[in-house]
Structure 1
Amino acid sequence: MADFIEIVVNGEDMPFFFKQSSHTVQTPKPAGSSCLLNLMRVTAALIVVLFAAHAHADGDPILVGQSAVLTGPFTPNSLAFISGQTLFFDKFNAAGGLNGRRIKVVTYDDAYLGDKAAANAEQLIKQDHVVCLFGTMGTAIGAAMTKVAMANHSFIFGGLTGAEVLRDTKLPVYHIRASYADEARRTMTHLRIIGQTRVAVVSSDDAYGKGIEEVTLRALTDGGNPAVISLRFDPKQDNLRDVAERVTKSNAQAVYVIAAGLPAINVIRALSVLPSHPPIYTNSVGSSFLLYKELGDKSRGIILSQVMPPFWQTRLRITKEYQQALQGAGQQNQASYMGLEGYITAKVFTEMLRRVSGSITTESLRHAIENSGPVDVGDFSISFSPSKKSGSDFVDITFLSDGGKFVQ
C-alpha cells in the first residue's frame, strides 16, 4: 500500500501518494487551479520531503522539522538543498535507518516570509514534536525561527545563511557552511595574492549588503590596500548604469558585488554591458543558474566564492559519494553546490544522531553535537563545541565558464 504524504504549500494541504516499489509520485489534478499552481504542486511532490517507510525500518521515526522556501523568491536554492538532503536521507532510510528508525522530515512552506517561518517553527516544535529544526533558508527566516527555537529550548541544525547576526555562539544555530565574512576575507586575500590591489566594492543598501560590506572594507584595509571606491545601491532599483560607470571610472582592477538575488543580477548586468569592466567577484549566494539564465554568455568569467567543495570533481570522497548517489537515483544531471550542501548537512546530522548516548531527545542530540568531536564526511570535516557553532570555515574560489558551468 502507498504511504500518504502531506506537504503544505500556500496554505493548502496537498495530498500525494508515494509508491514504495517504484518511488513514483502521483498527484491528483486540482479542479480550477492555474497551470503555475499545478507546476508548483508537481515540483513540491517530486522533492518528497516526507520519506516513505521501509519494511525493515519498523521503529518509530525520528521527526525533524523544516520550514522551506517552496514558493516565492529563492525557491531554486531551497529546492536544490532539499533534493540533496532527500538524496542522503532516502539512502540512509533504505539501509535500515538508525537501529531500525527512519528519519522523517516534516516540511512546511514559508514563501521566504519571516512570520510564516516563525509560525511553522511553532507548529513543528509544539504540535509535530520534532527533535529539532533543520535546513532553514536565509537570514530573515533563520532569525525568526531562532527566536521560536530559543523560547522552546530547541535548536536549528544547518542554517543556510552566512550572516554574522546568527553566528553568536549563544544562539541555538549550528552552521555547516562558512560565514559571509569568511567568504569576503578569503576573496580579498585571493585578490591580494594575484596582484589585484585596486578593488571596488558595490553593496546593496540593506542589512545583507551593509553587514558584508563592513567586513570586506576592513579586510582590504588590513591587507594594506583600502577600497578604491565603495558604493551602495537601492536593491529595488533595476537601472544601475550610473553605479557601473562609477566603478569603471575608478580604474579598479576588480569589483566585489555584495547583493543577493535579482539586485545582484541587476548590478552585474549593468557592469557587463559596458564596453569594458573589471573582473566581477561575488559570494556563494550568487546562483549560477540565475546568473546564466539572466545574463547568458555575459555570465562567463564571473568569479564566485563557494562554501562547499567542487561538486563536479571526484578527488574528494564526499563529492565522489554525492555523484554516485545522484547516479544511483537517476539524477546525475542535478548536481549543484546547494544540493551537495544539503547532502553533507544530512550526513553530518545522521552521524550526530548515531553519537547520541541513550534516548534521542533534543537535549541529548544537542549534547552529542557539541561534545562528540569532528565529523569527517569524506575528506571534508565539520566540528562543533559548546563555544563553536560554525562547523566549517572552508571557502573556495570558482568562476563561471561556458553554459554557466563552474571551473576552479
Structure 2
Amino acid sequence: MGSAFAQGALRIGMVAGFSGPVAGIVQESADGARLYFDAVNAQGGIRGQNIELVTMDDKYDNATAVTQAKSLASQGVLALMLSRGTGPTEAMLPVLKENRLPLIAPATGAISLHEPVQPWVFHLRASYQKEAERAVKHLAGIGVKRITIVQVNDPFGTDAGKGAIKGLDDLKLRALSNLRFDRNKPNLAPTMQAIAKAGIEAVVLIGPGYAVVEGVKALRAAGSTAHVATLSNNASADFVKALGENARGVIVTQLFPYERSTANLMVREALSLAKTAGRQELTPSHIEGFAAAKLVVDALRRAGKDITRDSFARALDGRIDLGGLQVNYSDKDRSGLEYTDVSIVDEDGRFRR
C-alpha cells in the first residue's frame, strides 16, 4: 500500500493488514476514515492544510508492522491510526515510544494494551473482555443457559475468553465447557460435532473470521441449531459473505452505534457523507474508521498552528465529543469508549440490532 506524500499535508499513517486474513475489515475501516478526511479537506482542511492518510500493509505480521511503522515515523507522519490486531500493535509500542508517535484507535481490545497505560496509545473501542461479557449477557437475556465457549489458543482468545467467563459469573452461570483451537489449523469439525451431540444451546465462538466461518459451517453440518455469538473483529461484509447460507442468525458484538441509526449524530453525519460520495451503505468497520478520523481531526484542530506529534498528543487530553459519543483521556486513562452492543445477521446478510 502507501502513497506519495502531498506537499504541506498533515500526514496520518495507518499500518494494518491490507492483505491476509483481516484485509476486508481493514479496508473498510480505512475507507470510513477517508470518508471523513475527504469531507474535511473539501471544506479547506485544517487551517488550509489537507489531511492525508498514508497506508502501509503489515500483512498482519508483527515484524512487518514494526518495519512499516518505523518507515512512516521517519517520513514525518504526525500519528498512526487503526492498527489491527494485538500482536502487530504490541510490536509497534517501542517505535511509538522512541519517536513520540501517537497511535489513535487501534483495532484491538487487548487488556495488555490498557493495563498498564501505554502513554502513546489512545484507545477508542471497548476491550475484548467487555464485548465478550456483553455477548454472554445477551444470550442469557434471551433465555439461553447451556453455553459453551470455543476460543482460539492465542492472547486474543485468552483475553476475550476471560470476559465471557466474567459475564457468566455475574449471572451465576457457568460455561458447560471452555474449548480451544489452533489459530493456524482450526479443525473445528470434531469439536462442533461433540457440541451438537451435547445439546448445547449457544456457542460463543472467539477467533479470526476464517476459523469462525469454519466453526459455524461445521456446527450446522452436525445438525445443531444452537445460537452462535462472535466478536466485533468479524463485523465485516466479507465475514458475512464467507458464511454464505449459514450467516443468518449469527450474533456479532458491536462497539459503535448502529451504522444505519439516524438517531446518532455521528452515524447520521457518516450516512450523509456516504450518500454524497455515492456509497449506499456503511458497515460497522466503516463507522469505526469514521469515528477514529473524527478523533484525529478534533486533535488536529486543537493542536495549534504548527502541529507536532507532542502538540497533537497533548490536544487529545480532556473530553472530546465525536457526535453522541464522548471520550475523556488523561495521563492515567487512555481507555476511550465502553460502548458495547450486539447485532444479528439477517436474511439479507446485513447486521441488524
Normalising by structure 1, report the TM-score: 0.81
* Distance in 1 separating the partners of 2:313 and 2:172: 42
Instruction: Determine the structure 1 residue equivalent to 2:331.
Output: 386
Instruction: Say if 2:163 is the partner of 1:215.
Output: yes
Q: 284-293 or 317-326, which moves further after superposition?
A: 284-293
* Distance in 2 separating the partners of 1:234 and 1:71: 21
* Distance in 2 separating the partners of 1:312 and 1:69: 26
Instruction: Say if 2:151 is the partner of 1:206.
Output: no
Instruction: Determine the structure 2 residue equivalent to 1:346.
Output: 293
* Distance in 1 separating the partners of 2:28 and 2:243: 21
Distance verdict in 2 for CA 1:225–1:152, change over 3 Å: same
Equivalences for residues 223-238 of structure 1 within 5 A: 223-238=171-186
Instruction: Determine the structure 1 residue equivalent to 2:126.
Output: 178
- Offset, 1:382: 2.5
Instruction: Determine the structure 1 residue equivalent to 2:48.
Output: 100
Instruction: Determine the structure 1 residue equivalent to 2:140.
Output: 192
- Offset, 1:206: 2.1
* Distance in 2 separating the partners of 1:106 and 1:293: 28
Instruction: Determine the structure 2 residue equivalent to 1:355.
Output: 302
- Offset, 1:231: 1.1
* Distance in 2 separating the partners of 1:295 and 1:61: 41
Q: Is the Cα contact below 8 Å between 2:129 and 2:162 reproduced in 1?
A: no
Instruction: Determine the structure 1 residue equivalent to 2:253.
Output: 305
Instruction: Determine the structure 2 residue equivalent to 1:89.
Output: 37
Q: Is the Cα contact below 8 Å between 1:384 and 1:391 reproduced in 2?
A: yes
Distance verdict in 2 for CA 1:92–1:304, change over 3 Å: same
Higher-Rg structure is: 1
Higher relative contact order (CA 8 A, sep 6+): 2
Q: 170-179 or 378-387, which moves further after superposition?
A: 378-387
Q: How many residues align?
A: 352
Q: Is the Cα contact below 8 Å between 1:229 and 1:250 reproduced in 2?
A: no
- Offset, 1:113: 1.6
For 2:32, give the aligned amino acid. Answer: G
Structure 1 gap ranges (5+): 1-6, 9-48, 54-59
1:122 to 70, 75, 86: 70
- Offset, 1:68: 2.8
Equivalences for residues 280-299 of structure 1 within 5 A: 280-299=228-247
* Distance in 2 separating the partners of 1:300 and 1:106: 36
1:75-134 Cα offsets, whole Å, 9 max, x none, are 1111111111111111101101111122122222222221111111111112x1121222
- Offset, 1:324: 0.9
CA RMSD of aligned residues (A): 1.9
- Offset, 1:290: 3.3
1:210-263 Cα offsets, whole Å, 9 max, x none, are 221123223312321011111112233354222112223333322100111211
Equivalences for residues 235-246 of structure 1 within 5 A: 235-246=183-194
* Distance in 2 separating the partners of 1:246 and 1:109: 39
Q: 182-191 or 289-298, which moves further after superposition?
A: 289-298
- Offset, 1:282: 0.8
Instruction: Determine the structure 2 residue equivalent to 1:150.
Output: 97
* Distance in 1 separating the partners of 2:184 and 2:257: 33
* Distance in 2 separating the partners of 1:352 and 1:50: 24
For 2:82, give the aligned amino acid. Answer: G
Instruction: Say if 2:222 is the partner of 1:274.
Output: yes
Normalising by structure 2, report the TM-score: 0.93
Percent of pairs identical after alignment?
A: 30
Q: 343-352 or 245-254, which moves further after superposition?
A: 245-254
* Distance in 1 separating the partners of 2:287 and 2:46: 22
Instruction: Determine the structure 2 residue equivalent to 1:112.
Output: 60
Task: Say which SS state the counterpart of residue 275 (structure 2) adopts.
Answer: helix
Task: Say which SS state the counterpart of residue 402 (structure 1) adopts.
Answer: coil
Q: 201-210 or 298-307, which moves further after superposition?
A: 201-210
Q: Is the Cα contact below 8 Å between 1:163 and 1:180 reproduced in 2?
A: yes
Q: Is the Cα contact below 8 Å between 1:198 and 1:225 reproduced in 2?
A: no
Q: Is the Cα contact below 8 Å between 1:326 and 1:332 reproduced in 2?
A: yes
Q: Is the Cα contact below 8 Å between 2:250 and 2:344 reproduced in 1?
A: yes
Structure 2 gap ranges (5+): none
Task: Say which SS state the counterpart of residue 348 (structure 2) adopts.
Answer: helix
Q: Is the Cα contact below 8 Å between 1:288 and 1:400 reproduced in 2?
A: no
Distance verdict in 2 for CA 1:66–1:50, change over 3 Å: farther
Task: Say which SS state the counterpart of residue 316 (structure 2) adopts.
Answer: helix
Instruction: Determine the structure 2 residue equivalent to 1:364.
Output: 311
For 2:123, give the aligned amino acid. Answer: H
- Offset, 1:406: 1.3
